[in-house]
Amino acid sequence: MSALDSLPIAVIGAGPIGLAAAAHLHERGIACTVLEAGETAGAAVRQWGHVRVFSPWRYNIDPAARRILDGAGWVAPDLEALPTGAELVGEYLRPLAELPQLKPYVRYGARVEAIGRLGLDRLRTAGRDSTPFLIRLADGDELLARAVIDASGTWATPNVLGASGLPARGETNVASFLEHALPDVLGAARDRFAGRHTLVVGAGHSAANTLLSLAELAESTPGTEVTWAIRTASPARTYGGGDADALPARGALGSRLRAHVDAGRIRLLTGFSVHALTPTDGRVSVVVRHGDGGEESVTADRIVAATGFRPDHSIAAELRLDLDPIMGATRALAPLIDPNEHSCGTVPPHGVDELAHPEPGYYAVGMKSYGRAPTFLMATGYEQVRSVVAALAGDWAAARDVQLDLPETGVCNSNPADSAAGDSCCGPAPAAEPTARGLATGISGGLLSAPLNLIALDAAPTGGQAGGCCGS
């Protein structure tokens, strides 16, 4: 064994994907060190602990992690139930991190500041493959590793409100009015929203979650107003595939949102591009520009910026990365996940080959691997780390035998004009399934007191709003 091979593999992040990587490394008998910036496993997940995810437990548990947990007598949750973020941490990530097979190798409060090669900057080529990675922590500590699996995610780097990718004019001056994705509207943050006007900017699931919570708050608290602003001309992509979605809760999420919009409980603004923000008498004035060049102003008490996230590759500035200039993912992965072309749950199987960089031994996995694409699912990350760890173990046959089974959304393209009625544009619509236990994200308690009334997406909604890609 060489001196390099005697070093551990560094895993950055003790979230679902990072701990899955540690579990696969343990099964392969490979030493690792998990570096977590927070003070507990799943620290980022805990920040949206009030949210119920739309994928059942069976999609959210990594197979290697499950095998180790089962060996320790772990009692698995109902695999068809929908966990909240808090349940994901409390019932899965924390027990996993506490296992004796992993616990000694997880370091908390270990924020990675930079990654390089020991004694070599990015320009030096000779001997690079046999030189250890040098990882510097924010507290000044340094450690060496033979490879790096970066599962640090993107939660700490949300996108800005400005439609040009730059902060809108005045955005930094109104920070006290801004909320980032998934505030606890019905819980800890209730007083910030009750009886006030909230503007939610964004068209993804995070925006939908928040909008549903605000609509629920408005039903019980007079004076609570909700405005939803999106850049596109239609909310069809957010509404999704409805009952054509293989995850019933995800389909119900869009259907419920559409019902609130159609009933006027949520005011929808389309073609909305944030240009400037200004504090105005204890509120914030938002100047928006439309595609035709016109401007208007919207005044709100709070703004929720559910505009997505972007990766921070600055810690790897001295490594040789080959990133797609648009997506911020590897060049090989970017076309497979580009949301301009495809937003379905049918991401092609991908693994170590698509995640590799010119820097041997460095892999960004999980949400970070997707760059700015918002369509990542945990199951995708679990297959990524299985493939990467197999490659690091020298088992290239297993590494390249990538398989991915993802539930369809019923919406595949960001352009509703490309939609087709009847079958999903990803293939035949899935057969009807019993509704999973629990509800879509953003519904307090996760249970309904009355049956859920799904809206058929092939019916023309009030006000002429377009449906999903499988609707009209």
Tokens at 282, concatenated:
């204890």
Of the pLDDT bands very low, low, confident and very high (cuts 50, 70, 90), residue 61 is very high
CA dihedral angle for residue 433, residue 434, residue 436, residue 440, rounded to 10 degrees: 70
Whether residue 452 is predicted with pLDDT greater than 70 in this model: the reply is no
d(CA 64, CA 348): 22
236 and 101 fall within a common domain:
no
Provide the strand spans (E) within 202-272: 225-229, 267-269
Domain shared by 119 and 218, yes or no: no
Q: Is residue 164 part of a domain?
A: no
What confidence score (pLDDT) does residue 42 get? 97
Per the model's pLDDT, the better-predicted residue between 109 and 342 turns out to be 109
pLDDT at 441 > cutoff 70: no
Do 16 and 50 belong to one domain? yes
The tens digit of pLDDT for each residue in 279-305 reads 999 999 999 887 677 788 999 999 999
Whether the per-residue pLDDT at 440 is higher than 80: the answer is no
Q: Does residue 406 lie within any of the structural domains? A: no
**Is residue 337 assigned to a domain?**
yes
Question: pLDDT value at position 242?
Answer: 61
pLDDT, averaged across the chain: 84
Matching residue, tokens 């953003």: 442
- Same domain? For 108 and 146 the reply is yes
pLDDT of 417 higher than 70 = no
Domain tally, the chain: 2
pLDDT of residue 160: 93
E strand or H helix that includes residue 276: strand 273-280
* 4 domain residue, yes or no: no
Sign of the CA dihedral with 157 first, then 161, 167, and 170 last: negative
Q: What percent of the chain has pLDDT over 70?
A: 82
pLDDT of residue 252: 77
pLDDT at 144: 98
What is the predicted pLDDT for the residue at 163?
82
Is residue 316 domain-resident?
yes
**Residue 459 and residue 466 in contact, taking contact as beta carbons nearer than 8 Å:** no
**pLDDT value at position 279?**
95
Instruction: Please indicate, yes or no, if residue 471 is contained in any of the structural domains.
Output: no
Kindly indicate the confidence band of residue 43, based on its pLDDT and cuts at 50, 70 and 90.
very high
**Mean pLDDT in residue range 106-130:** 96
Query: Which of 400, 346, 341, 389 is closest to 365 using CA atoms?
Result: 389
pLDDT of residue 2: 76
* Displacement of CA 264 from its chain's centroid (Å): 29
Residue 395: domain span: 9-156+309-399
pLDDT at 34 over 60: yes
Find the angle CA(136)-CA(140)-CA(144) to the nearest 5 degrees: 35
Mean pLDDT value across residues 169-195: 95
Report pLDDT for 201: 95
Specify the 3-state DSSP secondary structure of 267: strand
Q: Flag the least confident range among 5-9, 399-403, 419-423.
A: 419-423
Q: Let me know whether 17 and 94 are in one domain.
A: yes
CATH of the domain at 120: 3.50.50.60
pLDDT at residue 113 is higher than 60: yes
146 shares its domain with 180: no
* 391 and 350 both lie in a single domain: yes
Q: Do 175 and 241 have their domain in common?
A: yes
Question: Which pLDDT value is given to residue 117?
Answer: 97
Name the domain boundary from 366, 399, 432: 399
Tell whether 197 and 225 lie within a shared domain.
yes
Predicted confidence (pLDDT) at residue 444 exceeds the cutoff of 50: no
Same domain? For 303 and 342 the reply is no
| 24 lies in the same domain as 145 | yes
Helix/strand/coil for 99: coil
Indicate if the pLDDT at residue 467 is higher than 50.
no
Rounded Cα–Cα distance for residues 43 and 37 (Å): 8
pLDDT at site 348 = 82
What's the one-letter identity of residue 117? R
In terms of Cα–Cα distance, which of 47, 41, 88 is closest to 187?
47
Domain assignment of residue 273, yes or no? yes
Same domain, 228 and 179: yes
Q: Which of 352, 372, 399 is the last residue of a domain?
A: 399
- 211/5 Cα distance (integer angstroms): 50
**Coil, strand, or helix at residue 147?**
strand
Long-range contacts of 70-79 (CB under 8 A, 24+ apart): 72/99, 78/437
Band the pLDDT of 174: cuts 50, 70, 90: very high
Q: Between these two residues, 472 and 220, which has the higher pLDDT value?
A: 220
**The last residue of a domain, from among 370, 399, 428:** 399
**pTM confidence score:** 0.83
Q: Is residue 469 part of a domain?
A: no
